[in-house]
Amino acid sequence: MTQGTDVSGLFTEMVKASAAADVVQKKLVYLYMCTYAPRQPHLALLAINTLCKDCADPNPMVRGLALRSMCSLRMPGIQEYIQQPVLNGLRDKASYVRRVAVLGCAKMQKLQGDSEVDGALVNELYSLLRDQDPIVVVNCLRALEEILKKEGGVVINKPIAHHLLNRMADLDQWGQSEVLAFLLRYRPRNEEELFDILNLLDGYLKSSSPSVVMAATKLFLVLAKEYPHVQADVLVRVKGPLLSACTSESRELCFTALCHVREILGSLPGHFSSHYKKFFCSYSEPHYIKCQKMEVLCELVNDENVQQVLEELKGYCTDVSVELAQGAIFAIGNIARTYTEQCVGILTELLGLQQEHITSAVVQTFRDLVWLCPQCTDAVCQALPSCEETIQDSEGKQALIWLLGAHGEKVQNAPYILEDFVENVKSEMFPAVKMELLTALVRLFLSRPAECQDMLGRLLYYCIEEETDMAVRDRGLFYYRLLQSGVEEVKRILCSPKSDPSLGLLEDPAERPVNTWASEFNTLASVYGRACWALVTAHQPVESCYACSPCTDPKDRRTESLISEENKEVLQVHPDTGSLTLIPDMYLNAEQFEKTWLNLDISCQHSLPWRGTAHSDTIQAALHVVHIQTIAMSKAGIQPWKAYLSAQDDAGCLFLTELLLETEESEMQVSVKQSEAKPEALKTFISVLGTVMGTVVGLRS
């Protein structure tokens, strides 16, 4: 049965076998019954008598086992059979049977659905909160919480709260964590009672169990919300257990502890500064933990440790992992807000490595840094020449072009670098780069007109007359008409006063009071981030997030989704272009796709530039934005990598596509079949697909 073989035909024989006296055999038979009862409800009724008989067995192990199995029979009409055995089990002399019966109450209520809650049963469970067995007490809390879910859960009043506090020493670590979570619902009547409770809980801040320490810390923070000095003292005392968890061998525990450390640092900057070496990355740690540690290091930097932290981060910049290397560069850029000169020197030195992903990340960091710290503009401009030879990804190109447009008067060969982009604009795969190029060239034209006039004219002509991307074409028309209104008008619009960094768009958030996040401490809200957790709790789908991103503080600045809002805007331009409108509700199953594919000839074959692994989740999310359906797709890392896609326009024309990536360093081969011969629509579809894949390459970079 556990290997997947259907042995439901033996149900009658297994019911007979349950009469055996051997407890181990009973366990196996009851496991069999619980598994197949939903499939054989009529035969399962034969087992009820045997189970009811075993619920009265002299052996408490047999009684508990039978009761647990009876409550686990997921079949219609079982409620009337289990009600009396459960009530008998609540009064059983054996604690094991009472434990099972209490949880059976919750199962029984679940089976009854929306029917009214049995008040007598609830009262019985409340009375069992004073049971001698501590596990029965914890099970009662869990069962009451489930049964009274619609009424707001179990009620914790003063007698119950003090009883639970006095029983804490008898509980195991999981029971203590549960009770501490339930005690959050109780509010002490006066200051004396409050501090009596805190004194009782004081020892649990030193528990060997991280879950107990975190639960006790949260209870302290919530109860002492009107006493900031008590909250600060608690956070000082919990520093040791949190640091131990951050170096734990359990990766999940380590990551969770790091998230809570960042939460605390939001209210107490520099709280862990003396232990900054604890957050240095180990070679064997996974990527997501390293990214969290780098973000913590950025918040712990001070005059005493800045040199050591920067040296550590500099070592990560040459890591074999592209994501980690770029994350370290962005972290240095974050520190550069305060220690500009030292960080710019390190970033400039990294450009000498002439590695594509390193150069791209450094240029992106320079772009943000120039806006935040204008005093470093000259040093950045001196480092820009020759960067264009290395950068290939969309984000890096956009950052470089922006810098040349905004500060091109300080870069001697800025027009000639932009001219290279203009000459290669026809082969440029990223529409966002083309739009950035238009803006940068118009800006540079205002300060160096003689050198830019000719290439600006060529770029505008291409964008207006030849470009198929409507967003780029509209941007070109806008600048063309703006230039017609006169240079002064262009200067007024493009060279208007710049936004002030002090407005806080990219600045670190102000210190947050502890009370703003105390209720979220020791919950998944600290791990997911507030924005993501709000969506999860609202039952809305949430896209995957990067563990590390170019932004300085991913949780506070913005939530980085798999496809950023900027890229979505770029992609969503395409589903409705002049000759093509892809419908969003088209659905084609695998059999229909295969049958149609075999009956059609290839209409177009095309090659797209590609480097690295094809990440299926990212590609599928990007294709969904432009209404292209994924029929089948290989897993990341498989060679050759294949994907089959389908789309349909508003006229009913199907576009069936095969993507083929032989190796990670080869180009991606695209084969498209059309159900109707529409050359213009096919051309536009290829453009849409190229933009999507280009955006995905930009996301990976």
Buried b (16+ CB within 10 A) or exposed e, 573-604: bbbebeebbbeeebebeeeebeeebeeeeebb
Per-residue pLDDT at 545 exceeds 60 = no
- pLDDT given for residue 363 in this prediction: 93
Kind and range of the H or E element at 633? strand 629-633
The model's confidence at residue 607, banded by pLDDT at 50, 70 and 90, is confident
Q: Is 539 exposed, middle or buried (0-12, 13-18, 19+ CB in 10 A)?
A: exposed
Residue 539 has pLDDT above 70, yes or no: no
Mean pLDDT value of segment 232-244: 92
Per-residue pLDDT tens digits for 71-130? 888 777 777 788 888 889 999 899 999 999 999 998 888 877 767 778 888 898 999 999
Q: Supply the pLDDT for residue 565.
A: 45
Q: How far apart are CA 386 and CA 417, in angstroms?
A: 9
The confidence score (pLDDT) of residue 550 equals 32
Q: Please tell me the CATH code under which domain 569-700 is placed.
A: 3.30.310.10
Calculate mean pLDDT across residues 621-631: 83
pLDDT score at 436: 92
CB contact burial 3-40 (16+ within 10 A = b; e otherwise): eeeeeeeebeebbebbeeeeeeebeebbebbbebbeeb
pLDDT tens digits for 283-297? Answer: 889 989 999 999 999
Vertex 72: Cα angle to 69 and 74 (nearest 5): 135
Domain parsing of the chain, residue ranges: 8-175, 405-499, 569-700
Tally DSSP H helices, then E strands, for the chain: 34, 7
DSSP state of 517: T
Domain 8-175 has CATH 1.25.10.10: yes
Averaged pLDDT, 584-592: 76
Of residues 218 and 541, more confidence is placed in 218
pLDDT at 498: 64
Cα–Cα distances in Å, from 376 out to 133, 345, 359? 68, 10, 18
In this predicted structure, the answer to whether residue 170 has a pLDDT above a threshold of 60 is yes
Q: What is the pLDDT of residue 501?
A: 55
Tokens describing residue 610: 């590609």
388 or 272, which is more confident? Answer: 272
Higher pLDDT, 654 or 557: 654
Q: Do the beta carbons of residue 60 and residue 96 sit within 8 Å?
A: yes
Identify the band that residue 500 occupies on the pLDDT scale cut at 50, 70 and 90: low
Crossing angle of the two packed helices 191-201 and 158-167, in degrees rounded to 10? 20
User: Are 8-175 and 569-700 the same fold in CATH?
Assistant: no
pTM above 0.75, yes or no: no
Give the pLDDT score at 698: 56
Mean pLDDT score, 630-635: 84
